[in-house]
């Protein structure tokens, strides 16, 4: 078992470079299934969600080659299957993008429902399936767990999304890009990774307009070629370092970012009293580590991102005054609060609202990463706490943060990845050969 061990109290100083965006790359890798040629994709983060998605593509028959540290050459022309079993999809939530990509590629997809972070209880995909059906696919569920989608010929249509969904917007774009005629997605998600996917598909010859607004128009094309593309920087990874610096105190230049994508996060950091200076492709955060309370309501982009609320909750648990966080995207995203409370935080959760009464001191404790962003919150809590914090379940953090221990350590944090050799489960596996 691996844990992160943190001795809190150090200020963060120096520079950190942000990796490619997880939520872009997990959509763009399946999108390579639509290309009749080689895609060269740069700025691919070295995270376990990427490893899992590349393994799926390889198992399906794609040729995947690492060209240099963060660049992959992917040729999916050798893929012959339209079926993805559960032992492949169970590792990451975004494997449901294979439904849209395979449907767009060959009008047929049979994909087992995925695993991944499960902070919100059930994570429905009704809007994805509704979109596929609107494009002319017949969708059935086998054993409640395998999506089977087929069409003679996908045909463009007007699709109004009942709720704003990142995943459904991506999946419908993937399915519609080679459909006959015009598809219009209304009430579409506007996240930077939606725009990134549209730019990637357009680089392959697609005709997609309006990505980044709530109406996306896709005129189907019959052929998509390979392309060279570079993934955008990860907005949430950047935001996580920004909050960490604000909370610990220090002065850090966060490089390789798009400041415009960070506006909602920067605004809140400034409200807590830290200083944020924007440059063209970097951002500096300066803080004395004494934060003021602030209130946050999470919303789809350009609102404040839900994927940043756990990190803010950790920071605000030591702010002056009482902060209120309202979760507006997921039904239940406060599971991590129990761990902060174990460290001494005063947080009351009532449904989708958390009330955080700032205290003088968090105390290091053994805690768990219940999901990816909950794990990021535990790191921040550990950095500002007095004493030693041990974080279990770091596999969740490795899903979305490249070299997180190395990056924080380079900024001056006392953080280590420790492999507990005496873990009974690991011992059992070893002795079983």
Rule CB under 6 A: which of 394-423 touch ligand EPU?
A: 400
Task: Determine which residue in the list 125, 173, 232, 247 makes contact with ligand EPU, applying CB under 6 A.
Answer: 125
Structure tokens at 184: 């219009």
Residue 243 burial (CB < 10 Å; 0-12/13-18/19+)? buried
d(CA 398, CA 3): 11
| Residue 32 touching ligand EPU (CB under 6 A) | no
Is residue 316 within the footprint of ligand EPU (CB under 6 A)?
Answer: no
Mark the segment that binds ligand EPU (CB under 6 A) among 52-60, 72-80, 99-107, 165-173: 165-173
State the burial class of residue 260 (Cβ atoms within 10 Å of its Cβ: 0-12, 13-18, 19+): exposed
The least distance separating ligand EPU from the CB of residue 133, rounded to whole angstroms, comes to: 12
| Cβ closest to ligand EPU, residue 93 vs residue 261 | 93
Q: Does 367 engage in binding with ligand EPU (CB under 6 A)? A: no
The answer to whether residue 248 forms part of the interface with ligand EPU (CB under 6 A) is: no
Q: Which two tokens stand for residue 96?
A: 């449901």
Stretch that binds ligand EPU, among 70-78, 117-125, 140-148, 342-350 (CB under 6 A): 117-125
Q: Report, as residue numbers or ranges, the catalytic residues.
A: 117
At its nearest, how many Å lie between ligand EPU and the CB of residue 328?
9
186-215 binders of ligand EPU (CB under 6 A): 189
Of residues 75 through 104, those in contact with ligand EPU by CB under 6 A are 93-94
Question: How many whole angstroms separate alpha carbon 433 and alpha carbon 427?
Answer: 10
Give the shortest CB-32-to-ligand EPU separation in angstroms: 16
Q: Residues 39, 60, 84, 117: which binds ligand EPU (CB under 6 A)?
A: 117
Q: Binding residues for ligand EPU, how many (CB under 6 A)?
A: 26
CA distance 159 to 217: 10
Q: Which is nearer to ligand EPU, 125 or 231 (CB)?
A: 125
Instruction: Using the minimum distance from each CB to ligand EPU, give the nearer residue, 76 or 235.
Output: 235
For ligand EPU, which residue has the nearest CB? 167
Question: Does 67 help bind ligand EPU (rule: CB under 6 A)?
Answer: no
Distances (CA, A) of 95 to 59, 83, 101, 388: 13, 12, 10, 36
Quick note: the x/- pattern for ligand EPU over 372-391, rule CB under 6 A, is xx------------------
Could you tell me the smallest distance in angstroms from the CB atom of residue 97 to ligand EPU? 8
Window contacting ligand EPU (CB under 6 A); options: 125-133, 212-220, 334-342, 404-412: 125-133
309 binds ligand EPU per the rule CB under 6 A = no
When the beta carbons of 82 and 370 are compared against ligand EPU, the nearer one is 370
Shortest Å, Cβ 51 to ligand EPU: 15
Q: Is 126 in the site for ligand EPU (CB under 6 A)?
A: yes
288-to-73, 272, 296, 313 alpha-carbon distances in Å: 45, 11, 21, 18
Question: What is the C-alpha separation between 364 and 340, in angstroms, rounded?
Answer: 10
Assess 163 for contact with ligand EPU (CB under 6 A): yes
d(CA 92, CA 139): 22
Binding residues for ligand EPU, rule: CB under 6 A, are 22-23, 26, 93-94, 117, 120, 123-128, 163, 165-168, 189, 306-307, 329-330, 372-373, 400
């Amino acid at each position: 078992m691996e844990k992160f061990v943190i001795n809190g109290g150090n200020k963060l100083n120096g520079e950190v470079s942000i990796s490619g965006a997880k939520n872009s790359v997990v959509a763009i890798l399946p999108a390579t299934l639509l290309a009749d040629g080689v895609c060269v994709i740069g700025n691919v983060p070295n995270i376990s969600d990427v490893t899992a998605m590349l393994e799926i593509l390889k198992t399906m028959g794609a040729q995947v080659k690492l060209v240099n540290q963060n660049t992959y050459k992917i040729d999916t022309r050798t893929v012959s299957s339209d079926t993805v079993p559960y032992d492949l999809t169970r590792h990451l939530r975004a494997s449901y993008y294979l439904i849209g990509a395979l449907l767009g590629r060959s009008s047929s997809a049979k994909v087992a429902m995925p695993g991944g972070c499960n902070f919100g209880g059930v994570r429905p995909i009704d809007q994805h399936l509704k979109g596929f059906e609107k494009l002319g696919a017949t969708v059935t569920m086998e054993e409640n767990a395998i999506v089977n989608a087929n069409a003679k010929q996908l045909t463009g249509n007007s699709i109004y999304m009942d709720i704003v969904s990142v995943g459904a917007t991506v999946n419908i774009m993937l399915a519609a890009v080679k459909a006959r005629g015009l598809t219009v997605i209304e009430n579409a998600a506007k996240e930077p990774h939606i725009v990134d996917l549209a730019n990637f598909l357009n680089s392959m010859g697609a005709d997609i307009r309006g990505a980044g607004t709530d109406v996306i128009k896709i005129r189907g094309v019959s052929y998509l070629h390979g392309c060279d593309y570079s993934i955008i920087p990860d907005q949430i990874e950047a935001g996580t370092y920004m909050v960490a610096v604000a909370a610990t105190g220090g002065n850090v230049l966060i490089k390789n970012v798009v400041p415009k994508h960070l506006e909602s996060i920067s605004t809140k950091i400034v409200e807590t009293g830290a200083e944020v200076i924007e440059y063209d492709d970097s951002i500096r955060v300066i803080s004395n580590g004494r934060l003021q309370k602030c209130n946050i309501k999470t919303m789809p982009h350009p609102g404040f991102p839900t994927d940043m609320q756990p990190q803010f909750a950790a920071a605000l648990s030591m702010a002056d005054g009482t902060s209120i966080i309202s979760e507006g995207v997921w039904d239940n995203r406060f599971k991590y609060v129990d761990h902060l409370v174990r460290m001494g935080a005063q947080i009351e959760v009532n449904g989708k609202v958390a009330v955080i009464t700032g205290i003088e001191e968090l105390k290091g404790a053994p805690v768990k990463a219940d999901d990816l962003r909950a794990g990021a919150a535990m790191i921040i809590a550990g950095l500002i706490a007095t004493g030693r914090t041990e974080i279990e379940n770091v596999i969740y953090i490795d899903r979305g943060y490249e070299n997180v221990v190395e990056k924080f350590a380079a900024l001056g944090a006392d953080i280590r990845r420790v492999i507990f050799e005496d873990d009974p489960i690991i011992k059992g596996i070893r002795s079983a050969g």
